[in-house]
Structure 1
């Protein structure tokens, strides 16, 4: 099965995001229940390694932290293939990503070597999507900025391919974070 860990969004933020998902023909917008910030992508993992990964991720709970979304962009150079919202620089999120990588290594799960680029995928684009619509969308959201939100849990998801449409995500495990009062 394909596994990844991610942070879910508060419902107020999900609503704010779905309100801006418009104005780009050829975009397949991510539905509200699939909006997330990936902390690590593990790829295809067998059941034994998935169990070991779950154990390693749960072993050392991390402290909760605040996160904020800002700006917008796209992936793909000559042909954009996805629209995203950016994540404001967060040392705590980078530590969480490193925690996920170390857990994968201890569990014997080989991760992709690509540089971690925290983001929230808004839409996947068809090859026929007009570039000028992508540019207009990015200009409109270039100053997108949400209020900080508390990250107090990470989820391990499995992704299952469907014959049509996007993949089906299923929550496999939840990892609460430690919340300390200041």
Structure 2
């Protein structure tokens, strides 16, 4: 059994900007990304999981992802906002539905896309991070053409295993 999550890689410039903040805030060492499906356990061969993902995204065309500004989950998490477009919602639902059909337990809370900058913060850390983010108000748009499967490795790190293209 292994742990995985599904995410969308960011364009290089946005990834580097977010990564600089993540390192400064000592966020977990995972490449900056937009999570589509939160971590889950998979008990079968990873090739089977890859096929499930290919089937789920096989009819979903590439689409624009947009966002601007920053947000937070209370005082524990700071993030870059991501607009929940109908296309992003469709991708999330398709992947969640196909994984559930395979017996995977998927979080049923409403999907709130975001790009994490800092997590597991104390109130004091939160205030310091917010101060460092003053003046940072990202505005971005990029084409999503694939979803990435990340695997939790023996080195206790999330690593991109494979990128699976969306339809045409």
Q: Which moved more, 1:90-99 or 1:132-141?
A: 132-141
What does residue 63 of structure 1 align with?
61
1:144 lines up with 2:138 in the alignment:
yes
Counterparts of 2:62 and 2:28 in 1: how far apart (Å)? 26
Check conservation: 1:36, 1:120, Cα contact below 8 A.
yes
- Where 1:53 maps in the other structure, the secondary structure is helix
- Where 1:150 maps in the other structure, the secondary structure is strand
Aligned match of 1:174 in 139, 144, 163?
163
Structure 1 residues 106-156: Cα deviation after superposition (integer angstroms, max 9, x where no partner): 212121222211001112244263443244356533x4212x111111011
Instruction: Write out aligned runs for 1:96-115 (5 A).
Output: 96-115=91-110
Structure 1 unaligned spans of 5+: none
Query: For the structure 1 residues 119 and 98, does the alpha-carbon distance in structure 2 shift closer, same or farther, using more than 3 Å as the test?
Result: same
Q: Which moved more, 1:89-98 or 1:124-133?
A: 124-133
Instruction: Give the superposed CA RMSD.
Output: 2.6
1:129 lines up with 2:124 in the alignment:
yes
Check conservation: 2:41, 2:104, Cα contact below 8 A.
no
